[in-house]
């Protein structure tokens, strides 16, 4: 369960998101996620903020992967947004962030959570892939970039 199509739905991808700071980013992605996982957006934003206090999830190159665990989730769920303007995320390289991939996992999803984080992290360290994400014209195009390399059974 580490394919992007398993954790990311087309309606969980947005571009041109306007947010002026990290808190606003968390509130926006929490609102998107709340619709998908049927949980309160405030709770999701609080969990993301609590995790962020342990250390920035901005890992460099303009990318952040905020993540949290929530009770009652059936599976790892992602939300991806491309911000209209990069915001300060206190990233390890001190560069502002414009690409945010949020992951929510069930509280008991230890190994699955780590595998999902590793998959997202590997993909978002690829400079050519990041250029494609920044150049994509629509949410559908962004979703297609994440899922294009996945092979699905025809049966």
Residue numbers annotated as active site: 67
Measured from the Cβ of residue 26, the count of other Cβ atoms closer than 10 Å reads 24
DSSP class per residue in 46-83? HHHHHHHTTS--EEETTEE--EEEETT-SS-EEEEEEE
Measured from the Cβ of residue 89, the count of other Cβ atoms closer than 10 Å reads 25
């Amino acid at each position: 369960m580490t394919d992007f199509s398993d954790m990311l739905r087309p309606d969980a991808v947005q571009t041109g998101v306007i947010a002026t700071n990290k808190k606003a980013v968390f509130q926006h992605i929490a609102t998107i996620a709340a619709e998908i996982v049927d949980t309160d957006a405030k709770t999701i934003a609080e969990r993301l903020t609590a995790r962020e206090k342990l250390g920035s999830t901005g890992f460099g190159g303009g990318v952040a992967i905020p993540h949290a665990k929530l009770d009652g989730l059936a599976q790892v769920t992602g939300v991806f947004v491309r911000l209209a303007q990069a915001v300060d995320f206190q990233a390890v390289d001190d560069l502002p962030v414009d690409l945010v991939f949020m992951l929510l996992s069930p509280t008991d999803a230890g190994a699955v959570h780590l595998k999902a984080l590793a998959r997202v992290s590997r993909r978002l360290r690829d400079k050519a892939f990041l250029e494609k994400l920044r150049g994509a014209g629509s949410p559908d195009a962004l979703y297609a970039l994440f899922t294009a390399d996945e092979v699905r059974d025809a049966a």
